[in-house]
Each structure stands twice: as structure tokens, then as C-alpha cells.
Amino acid sequence: NAGVTQTPKFQVLKTGQSMTLQCAQDMNHNSMYWYRQDPGMGLRLIYYSASEGTTDKGEVPNGYNVSRLNKREFSLRLESAAPSQTSVYFCASSLYSGRGYTQYFGPGTRLTVL
């Protein structure tokens, strides 16, 4: 099993450009998440999908959109990238979205917006 995979690993964008970060899991998990990691801060939740067909905002959703394409895949889209979105993005999944369920993380995407 590959677990949680993310593409791309690295990306440089210019301000105003758009892009989609892809995430897939092969653990048959129902719930998926997108986080961003900034220096000196904890992982912050952008959006999550408790189950296929549902998405909800997390702590920092502004400037992002998501799509739960199917049970395996959850994408994050930046419509008009801004320098404040320079960060490392992590996708995660869990069996369910309940509070005791462990989240499994992908390797991250390092995004730089110039």
C-alpha cells in the first residue's frame, strides 16, 4: 500500500496563477483533510471531507477550494495564488472523521508563490 500520496512535491507559482494539488489514498478511508504548515505554527486545517460527497471548511479556508472526486481522491485548488499561500501543504486521511481516529499524512507539497 502506498498510503497517502500527493502530487506535485514542489511547485513555484507567480501571484495570480492557479493550480490544483492532488491527493489520493489507498486505505479505503472515508475522511480526508488538507492542512498547511507554516514556520512556527502548527498544522492548520484548510478543508476536510468527512465522507465522499461532503466537504467542510476548516480553520483557514479563504483562498482555497476543494473537490472530493471519489472516495480515494481529494484535491485542493488555489484559484489565484498569493504570496501568503506560500507554505507546505499536507493531505491526510482517516477511517472516519471522529475524534479518536488517527490521521495518516502524505509527504507534503512545498509551494512557493512569488
Partner 1 sequence: ILNVEQSPQSLHVQEGDSTNFTCSFPSSNFYALHWYRWETAKSPEALFVMTLNGDEKKKGRISATLNTKEGYSYLYIKGSQPEDSATYLCALWGADNNDMRFGAGTRLTVKP
Residues making contact with partner 1 (CB under 8 A): 4, 35, 40-45, 48, 56, 58-59, 90, 97, 99-108
Min dist. Cβ of residue 90 to partner 1 (A): 7
Q: Which residues contact 21 (CB under 8 A, 6 or more apart)?
A: 6, 7, 8, 11, 34, 75, 76, 77, 78, 89, 91, 109, 111
| Closest CB to partner 1 among residues 85, 94 | 94
| Closest CB to partner 1 among residues 17, 27 | 27
Min dist. Cβ of residue 99 to partner 1 (A): 4
Reported as type and span, the H/E element at residue 19 is strand 19-25
Length of the chain as a residue count: 114
Min dist. Cβ of residue 108 to partner 1 (A): 7
| Closest CB to partner 1 among residues 25, 81 | 25
- Beta strand 31-37 pairing with 87-94: antiparallel
